[in-house]
Structure 1
Amino acid sequence: MISRLIQLAALLAVLLPAGSLYAEDLGFAGEWRQIHSNAGQCPTCRISVQQAGSTLIIDANNGWMATAEAGDQGNPDLARGAGSWRSDTNKTYAGKSFELLLVRNDENLHMTMHVRPGTGAARTIRGIFQRIRQNGI
């Protein structure tokens, strides 16, 4: 019986592509610090990305949250989603919803946020985030 199980495991290892037994790590999960933004510099701005399968939950320390789906258009480095600013954040964006695009490029994460206007013109915020490693760098 045990030899049959070993044979089956060996056969599966040969027939199945590498990694197909595990959820694909798309590389979005973790802590990221903002290094550039067209909305102004913010050296203390951070986002935390949690990943469950292809679903991303993004929580920013400056007042917004979003969910996104990784692997958009078959590209594992691309994620699209939507979110909103908390109602108690700065008055410009308070309570506003937005569409979000994330593109991972090595250790950088490029973000494009299209904020839906309550009144007036829509605003596009672009930012670049850098992955924070365990040692804080």
Structure 2
Amino acid sequence: MTIKNYKCHKISEGQASGEVLFSKDGICFYLIDPKTGVVIQKNHCLFGKSIAGKVLVFPNGTGSSVVQADGMYQLKMNHNEPKAMIVKNADTTLVASSIIMDMPLVDKVEEDFEKEINNKDVVKVNATEGIIKLLKKV
């Protein structure tokens, strides 16, 4: 049952559902333990939390292109990658890596999304159609 839909812009097509996890800090995928999906960057707002299987909402990627791509690849190979990603500022490496890793990635989400959605709410990101569906409020 869909509670509400939010429009967004497709970067990497696909669809996935999962719990939302917000990060106010940029993400360096190389500083996430690929065996657990836990953020190991000590000064990061998600330090000690797992991004595995989540719909990750974050402002931007950080780190060099090699570090970012390898970090995402290691997470995917260990089945600890996010199910989908929602980003404010997509860079070339994040876009290319998402396409290669077959991970839904969107940006330009309606403003109400961040006002109305909280961590642990369940959403379905349909990047192909440019829609995020709120499925469950926690």
Q: Please classify the TM superposition score into its range, dividing by the shorter chain length.
A: under 0.3
TM-score scaled by length of structure 1:
0.28
* Structure number with higher strand proportion: 1
Structure showing greater radius of gyration is 1
* Structure number with higher helix proportion: 2
TM-score scaled by length of structure 2:
0.28
Q: Tell which has more relative contact order, 1 or 2 (C-alpha 8 A, sep 6+).
A: 2
